Chains A and B, each alone.
Chain A
Amino acid sequence: MTAPLHFHTITELAPLIAAGHVSSEALTSACLEEIAAHDGALRAFITVLGASAIAQARELDAEIAAGGCRGPLHGIPISLKDLIDQQGVPTTAASRVREGHVAACDAPVTARLRAAGAVLIGKTNLHEFAFGTTSDDTAFGAVRNPHAPSRSPGGSSGGSAVGIVTGMSVASIGTDTGGSIRIPSAACGTVGLKPTWGEVPCEGVVPLCRSLDHVGPLARSVADAWLIYLVLRGEAAAARWPLPAPRPVKGLRLGVPRHYFHDVLDDEVRARFAACLAWLRHEGAETMDVVIPHAPGIAPVYLHASLPEAAACHAGSLESVPERYTRNVRLRLEMGRYVLAEDYVTAQAARAVLRSEVDAALAGCDALAMPTLPIPAPPIGASTVDVAGTPQAVRSMMLRMTQLFNLTGHPAVSMPMGETAAGLPCGLQLAGRLNDTEGLLATAAACEAIVTP
């Protein structure tokens, strides 16, 4: 290990903590020092829980000294996106609308992390109410991408990804309604998992669109995301630790949907993805083109499914305190109040069609593979970006590859697949079968060894 300890993976740190070679207090202190040194510029955190995190770390170290280890998350500093309740701590949702709120109790996912021995180090910044993909519309200042501070870290879980990359936490818990775990993971160079819809409880998490919302981990490796996922869904990770070694890539079958997904793609992202597939084939994986016939209809379906649900969640505060929202988020929420019921119902029918088409595409393969983002991280505040000589709306670009799996509920994971010439990370997205998130993680772990530098 040459990098400082707080830049290592859970898989590397857990045995050292369990053996008493590394203390949780030292690890937590190192993360807090990174926050103190760099968060003024990057704005990854809204609330830093320094004193309580150190107290928690000391208790966990005492347990180790007494011969007790709760499992692989024991003593690991983990942050929560500030949509997720932690008892006694404000849940701001990065909005002035929530001023004065303090969580009365832990969300179930928070309680599970606490029971597994995670050190809750703080609450991370996000796009206000998770209703955006760039983490710049927030009451706490735009989050900045550590690879290029003039650029967005993606969103909405932007602070979570930034914190991991900069050593402010070892992992984080985010939410994903259209790609909000996978998008910042791709833009910042972390692993992000959206489990199958409904596997991880969303109680105690500020909702955006209840039929599209997911909770999941952002981490430094697929194995780390897997361990956290087990805890989030209520399983004892200790019983599954260590995870088995990744399966060989040889024999893996990856479906590649090109129609629509490759129609608008940055040249460097296209080249990175092609190189990834070439490496995987060289190691014995099979790739095959597959088609999602109604893919060109995804964006209109997502809009008509998500906007009314978001407006419904915010109807009360849009009436009572509209001036407390950031302008863009308020306007987008207001849009949702104008969607006709007949179009919302059509969107629900369309989701069933898309779900069947994704199932059919997955029938002959282990996972679907595509870039997570069609573009590298965009400049902060940009509304359009140039893609192959044509201006494209940033919001449409950010959601283009990810929102399908929120509509259908299939599990999807993003992992790093190298960088552009300017040093901006690119992400590979894999999507797996419904209710087989662990099958997807096994496939992702196999690919990670080949495609992640």
Chain B
Amino acid sequence: MTIDDWLAVACADADRRGLADLKPLLVTLAGATRALRAAGWDAATRQQAQANAPEPRAPGPPPEEGEPR
């Protein structure tokens, strides 16, 4: 859902519930949601996950028969 679509639906719902005073706060929230979505948190999370991943190990010889795996 786009933020504009969400805001229109939210304001209409606030009107329906008799909470017209809520609409300026919803506009503020919409601005904060734009900032949240634009901040690139998903990319930062992926980068962090890659940085924290264990180093890949070079392939080695197969274990000897009976060696614990």
Interface residues of A (CB under 8 A from B): 294, 296-297, 299-301, 303-304, 307, 327, 331-332, 334-335, 338-340, 343, 346-347, 349-350, 352-353, 356
- A346 partner residues in chain B, CB cutoff 8 A: 36-37, 41-42
**Contact A339–B48 (Cβ < 8 Å):** no
**Contact B41–A349 (Cβ < 8 Å):** yes
Q: Say yes or no: A335-B25 contact (C-beta < 8 A), given A300-B33, A350-B36.
A: yes
Instruction: Please indicate which of the listed interface residues A338, A349, A350, A352 has the most CB atoms of chain B within 10 Å of its own CB.
Output: A338
Name the one of A301, A331, A332, A352 contacting B36, with C-beta atoms under 8 angstroms: A301
Report 10 cross-chain contacts, Cβ distance below 8 Å, ordered by A residue.
Answer: A297-B35, A334-B22, A338-B10, A338-B26, A339-B33, A343-B37, A350-B39, A350-B44, A352-B48, A353-B41
Interface of chain B: mostly helix, strand, loop or mixed: helix
**When each residue 48-62 of chain B gets 1 if its CB lies under 8 Å from chain A and 0 otherwise, what string results?**
100000000000000
Min CB gap B53→A, angstroms: 14
Give the size range of B's interface with the partner.
20 to 34
Interface residues of B (CB under 8 A from A): 1, 6, 10, 13-14, 19, 21-22, 25-26, 29, 32-33, 35-37, 39, 41-42, 44-45, 48
Instruction: Please indicate which of the listed interface residues B25, B35, B44, B45 has the most CB atoms of chain A within 10 Å of its own CB.
Output: B44
Q: How far is the CA of A332 from the CA of B32 in the complex (A)?
A: 14
- B21 partner residues in chain A, CB cutoff 8 A: 327, 331
Name the one of B1, B6, B36 contacting A300, with C-beta atoms under 8 angstroms: B36
Q: Say yes or no: A339-B29 contact (C-beta < 8 A), given A300-B39, A304-B36, A350-B39.
A: yes
Min CB gap A63→B, angstroms: 53
Q: Knowing that A334-B14, A343-B37 touch, tell me 13 more A-B residue pairs with CB under 8 angstroms.
A: A294-B44, A297-B36, A299-B35, A300-B36, A304-B32, A331-B21, A331-B25, A334-B22, A335-B25, A338-B26, A346-B36, A349-B42, A349-B45
**Contact B37–A335 (Cβ < 8 Å):** no
- B45 partner residues in chain A, CB cutoff 8 A: 349-350, 352-353
Min CB gap A281→B, angstroms: 33
**Contact A299–B32 (Cβ < 8 Å):** yes
Q: Say yes or no: A297-B39 contact (C-beta < 8 A), given A327-B21, A331-B25, A340-B1.
A: yes
Min CB gap A345→B, angstroms: 10
Q: How far is the CA of A1 from the CA of B56 in the complex (A)?
A: 66
Q: Say yes or no: A340-B32 contact (C-beta < 8 A), given A334-B19, A353-B48.
A: no
Min CB gap A218→B, angstroms: 30
